[in-house]
Structure 1
Amino acid sequence: MYKCEFFVYEKDKPFSVCIRPYKENDFDGLIEIQSECFPPPFQSDLWWNKEQLASHVKLFPEGALCVSVDGELAGSLTGLRVNFDPAHPDHTWEEITDNGYIRNHHPEGNSLYIVDISVRPKYRKLGLGKLLMQSMYHVVIDKGIDRLVGGSRMPGYHKVSNSISPQQYLEKVMSGELRDPVVSFLLRCGRMPVAVVKDYLEDEESCHYAVIMEWKNPFKNEGAPGNGI
């Protein structure tokens, strides 16, 4: 089972970090982190509940990772395996994640789909989100999965939605003209846009849009036998 221990630095101060699968005794802390990461207007009923977390641990423990800093739970990243066709990217978060319960997890699915990533605000300067994402890339490689994919919120879009389309907003973020807290972060993690989708999630800040973004397994050859949809 995946476990990685190392140090990160903020200026010259070291912090001890551990990334590992989360377990039942982490559930209260993970829900607390969700409340810190997704305050109003984000809907509180979209935070994790213990039944969802238990399902993650049972169905795909390799896709249920958490990170601690000096022993304090600091964030999590959750995924499931699905069959995803980039040529037909339209879907909602509820559909592809089974409303966060991942009971539709496909053990042989060609894609590892990111359900959620959350890092306590006070620890975000340490780069933990990127480290969690890189850990999930390790899972993709280890299991020979074609890609990691997921929907990115566009929380900065509501500020300019009266003047530009969601696609134009994405293009401006990619060119560096605008910065989006989530899309820009995922670009720095190596994720690439596949498509903008409408009504992905009840998310006023994103005007209910999302960008489907992927990271392709560099050890899989496109078009090779067994690498198709």
Structure 2
Amino acid sequence: MLYRSEFYVFDQEQTVPAVIRNYTKNDFDELIQIQKECFPPPFPSELWWDKEQLRNHVDLFQAGALCIEVDGELAGSLTGLCVDFDPNHADHTWEEITDNGYIRNHNRDGNTLYIVDISVRPKYRKLGLGKLIMQSMYHVVIQQGLDRLLGGGRMPGYHKVSDQLTPEEYIHQVTKGQIKDPVISFLLRCGRMPIHIVKDYLDDEESCNYGVLMEWKNPFK
């Protein structure tokens, strides 16, 4: 079942038409360009999407391949796959659980929609698009009858205080609103809850290679 939702977003006081839909092969070049804009160095360029990965997203789990357009321009994307997640064995790397972004391990019988990536073009970030597209993926979780949405959040502000705080202390202060982190604070505003910190989750200097598993539970399960 394909996803399509049309609505308006507000650019200050002006309304702008927007749509959230499944992305297709026609979007691949623009999706790769968005990755470059969203994740500049020191983020590893080899982690940007390539066309083989994007083809797999569309072919293996199109329900989990969403993008958002603003006034006809592609402004961001959100990608997921289904996995069978056991909270008692939560440690994993991004590469392991997403098949390095190729999602060939997508499990149709899995209990969890796992977020591979979210990207919103910098020039559109004041429009609240990330939260809107995340909410759309919650709809997919409900429609698919899954237990939860889960993903590992980068903590790019951590390197600034890593000599003063442990990862656990940092996330505690972000959760309490004492520190603002560009990614974790955003995920909290989307309704996600931190459940576990993973060491060596991703090759990410800003996060000191840590990731925080952030969960949204299906309220109907």
Q: Could you say which TM-score interval applies, normalised by the shorter chain?
A: over 0.9
TM-score (norm 2): 0.99
TM-score (norm 1): 0.95
CA distance in 1, matches of 2:12, 2:77: 24
Match of 1:66 in 2: 67
Which consecutive aligned stretches of 4+ in structure 1 deviate over 2 angstroms post-superposition? Answer: none
CA distance in 1, matches of 2:197, 2:49: 25
CA distance in 2, matches of 1:162, 1:214: 28
CA distance in 2, matches of 1:52, 1:12: 38
Instruction: Report deviation, 1:117.
Output: 0.1
User: SS of 1:118's equivalent?
Assistant: strand
CA offsets 1:41-96 (integer angstroms, 9 cap, x no match): 00111000000000000000000000000000000000000000112210000000
Q: Does the CA contact (< 8 Å) of 1:67 and 1:74 recur in 2?
A: yes
Match of 2:11 in 1: 10
Alpha carbon RMSD of aligned pairs, Å? 0.5
Q: Which amino acid aligns with 1:123?
A: Y
Instruction: Report deviation, 1:10.
Output: 2.0
CA distance in 2, matches of 1:192, 1:200: 18
The 5-angstrom pairing of residues 84-99 of structure 1 reads 84-99=85-100
Match of 2:107 in 1: 106
Query: How many residues of Structure 1 are paired with residues of Structure 2 in the alignment?
Result: 220
Q: Does the CA contact (< 8 Å) of 1:8 and 1:16 recur in 2?
A: yes
Q: Which amino acid aligns with 1:28?
A: D
- Structure 2 residue ranges without an equivalent (≥5): none
CA distance in 2, matches of 1:127, 1:85: 32
Match of 1:171 in 2: 172
